[in-house]
Amino acid sequence: MKTNAARLLDTLGIRYELRDYDAGDEHLPAEEVARRIGFPAEQVFKTLVVRGDRTGVMLCVVAGDSELDLKALAKASGDRKCDTVPLKDVQPLTGYVRGGVTALACKKDYPTFVDETIELFDVVSVSAGTRGTQIVLPPADYLRATRGKTGPFGRQKPQGEK
C-alpha cells in the first residue's frame, strides 16, 4: 500500500523500499520494529513530536535504541525548553497515529531535527506513515525529503530501559 510518505518520495524521485511487518494491536517499541524488519535498532529511526516554547511544534528523529535529548534539541532549535507533546495531540498535529508518525508528508511542514547518527549508515528505516510499514532509504535522501537539520539529539537509553 502506498502511503503519503511514499508518494512524497515518488514525487521527489527518491528510491526506497517498503518493508511490512506484523504490528499487532499494541504499540511496539522501535527495538521490536527493528527486530521484525531485520535491522539493528540503531538503524531504525523513530519520529517524536515535540513542542518548543519559541519554535512551537517540531519533529525530532532519533535512533530506535536512543532517547531524545530535549536539552540538545532546545539549544539547536533556539528554545529555552522543549517537551514531547501529549499522545492525544500527536494525530491531530501530524495526521499520523502513534507508531506511524513520520516527518515525510506530515499534516504540516514542521521543522525537523534528525540525530546525526543517521549519517553513519548506507540505509536507514523510518515509519512509512502507518503502523506495520517502514521505508528503507539512504539517509541523505531522507534528509533532503524532510529538510532535516542534523545534530546530537539522541542519547543512549540507561541500561535496562525499554
The rounded distance, in Å, linking the Cα atoms of 60 and 47 is 6
The mean pLDDT value for 4-29 works out to 94
Confidence grade of residue 104 (pLDDT, cut at 50, 70, 90): very high
- pLDDT of 156: 76
**DSSP-assigned letter for residue 120:** G
The CATH number of 4-152, from 3.40.50.800, 3.90.960.10, 3.90.650.10, 3.10.20.600, is: 3.90.960.10
Q: Do residues 145 and 14 make contact, with C-beta atoms less than 8 angstroms apart?
A: yes
The DSSP annotation for 72-95 comes to: HHHHHHT-S-EEEPPHHHHHHHHS
**DSSP-assigned letter for residue 61:** E
Model pTM score = 0.92
Q: Where are the domains of the chain?
A: 4-152
Q: What is the pLDDT of residues 41-59, one digit of tens each?
A: 999 999 999 999 999 999 9
